[in-house]
Amino acid sequence: MTEARSQTLWRRFLEHRLAVASALLLALFALLALAAPLVEASMGIDARQVDLFNRFAAPDAQHPLGTDEAGRDLLLRLLYGGQVSLFVGLVTALASAAIGTAIGLAAGYHGGRLDRFLMRFTDGVIALPLLPLLIILAAVDLHKLPLPADWVRSESVNLYRIVVIIALVGWTTVARLVRGATLSARTREYVRAAQALGAEPLRIMLRHILPNIASPIVVATTLSAGAIILLESVLSFLGLGIQPPVPSWGNMLTNAQELIYASPRLATYPGLLIFLTVIAFNLLGDGLQDALDPRARATRLR
């Protein structure tokens, strides 16, 4: 990318004040979440320490946001929960984008029967009732699958399970976008030239086509990160995603509904953080679209 072009992009992005604010907010959340162990050390309390004599404590000097139903510090749980929610959102969005790009490139570049088959398959996945399917996938007993038993019992397995099952159904938007962009890129001179020079299809797809269709992929990935954080929070809320004691913003709300009379505070903060994170991803995606792909603005949503 030439310097002048990147400067133009940067200027167009900065003009989008909401997107800039969103990027800063997301960076702040990420930093705070990463700094959770430091905050924990400086506060001198253990985030997992259950203290049943100190349940639903109001905010004070020791617990800036008070404590939850098991007497754990709410602020620390929110920070650790943020690590999980942001990790799941980003990693799953990248995994979905990778799957979608591979399928879209293959379908768009080769065309013909492969294209028809892959796009019918994509339509089929889009037609599925997403949430019920995710609930079943999340309820699958991993002990019944041929997987290493130690791994199945480890605490982090829920984290990867969520990433895998959401990525399995989340790639469709990127696949359609990439397929469309590849179809039009395939007829361009630079692709023809590479073909004439005898470059292999894989090399043409990755070295020549992919860099030229990167913009819509970046935009779609940003938008999908927000949607995935929402999905993760719903699944964890329903008790099928991240399992306690590992906190995520979604599973912190699971008990909140029953405890809504005892402590409305517990129901407020995690939901507010999910909301702010998701809206920031959406506004950021919108701003990136304006900067990277201004033509798409006029035609999208048709």
Partner 1 sequence: MSRFLSTRLVESLAVLALMSFIIYGLIGLMPGDPIDVMIASNPKLTAADAKVLRAIYGLDRPIIDRYLEWLGASLRGDFGYSRSFHRPVFDILGPRLLNTVLLLGSSSLLAILIAIPLGMWAALRAHGLFDEAINLLCFAGVSVPSFWLALVLILVFAVGLGWLPAGGMGPVDGGGLLAHLRYMILPVTSLTIASLASFTRFMRASMLDALRQDYVRTARAKGASPQRVVLGHALRNAMLPVVTIIALDFGALFSGALVTETMFAYLGMGKMIYDAIIGNDFNLALVGLLFATLVVLVGNFFADVGYVALDPRVSFRSLEEQR
The binding track of 93-122 with respect to partner 1, each residue x by CB under 8 A or -, is -----------------------x--xx--
Tokens representing 136 are 């079943």
User: Rule CB under 8 A: is residue 84 a binding residue for partner 1?
Assistant: no
Tokens representing 44 are 């001198």
Q: Are 218 and 288 in contact (CB under 8 A)?
A: yes
Q: Quick one: which of 114, 139, 193, 202 contacts partner 1 (CB under 8 A)? A: 139
The residues, any chain, with a CB within 8 Å of residue 60's CB and separated by 6 or more, are: 66
Which residue, chain included where needed, has tokens 């809206």? 279
Q: Quick one: which of 14, 128, 164, 202 contacts partner 1 (CB under 8 A)? A: 128
Cβ-based neighbour number of residue 257 at 10 Å = 10
Smallest gap from residue 136 Cβ to partner 1 (A): 5
User: Rule CB under 8 A: is residue 144 a binding residue for partner 1?
Assistant: yes
| 44 versus 146: smaller Cβ distance to partner 1 | 146
The binding track of 223-252 with respect to partner 1, each residue x by CB under 8 A or -, is ---x---x--xx--xxx----------x--
d(CA 238, CA 25): 28
User: Rule CB under 8 A: is residue 131 a binding residue for partner 1?
Assistant: yes
Q: Quick one: which of 20, 32, 99, 137 contacts partner 1 (CB under 8 A)? A: 137
| 126 versus 193: smaller Cβ distance to partner 1 | 126
If phi > 0 it is left, if psi is from -120 to 50 it is alpha, else beta; for residue 55 that is beta
Tokens representing 60 are 């004070």
User: Rule CB under 8 A: is residue 202 a binding residue for partner 1?
Assistant: no
Tokens representing 75 are 């602020």
User: Rule CB under 8 A: is residue 145 a binding residue for partner 1?
Assistant: yes
User: Rule CB under 8 A: is residue 147 a binding residue for partner 1?
Assistant: no
Near partner 1 by CB under 8 A, which window of 23-31, 37-45, 96-104, 136-144?
A: 136-144
| 57 versus 165: smaller Cβ distance to partner 1 | 165
User: Rule CB under 8 A: is residue 149 a binding residue for partner 1?
Assistant: no
User: Rule CB under 8 A: is residue 159 a binding residue for partner 1?
Assistant: no
C-alpha dist (Å) from residue 153 to 112, 144, 240, 250: 45, 13, 16, 22
d(CA 297, CA 302): 10
Smallest gap from residue 294 Cβ to partner 1 (A): 15
Q: Among positive and negative, which fits the CA dihedral 272, 278, 284, 286?
A: negative
- Single-letter code of the amino acid located at 69: E
| 45 versus 78: smaller Cβ distance to partner 1 | 78
The residues, any chain, with a CB within 8 Å of residue 5's CB and separated by 6 or more, are: none
Q: Among positive and negative, which fits the CA dihedral 92, 254, 152, 156?
A: positive
| 50 versus 183: smaller Cβ distance to partner 1 | 183
Tokens representing 251 are 């599973």
Binding residues for partner 1 (CB under 8 A): 18, 116, 119-120, 123-124, 126-133, 135-137, 139-141, 143-145, 226, 230, 233-234, 237-239, 250, 253, 256-257, 260-261, 264, 267-268, 271, 274-275, 278-279, 282-283, 286, 300-302
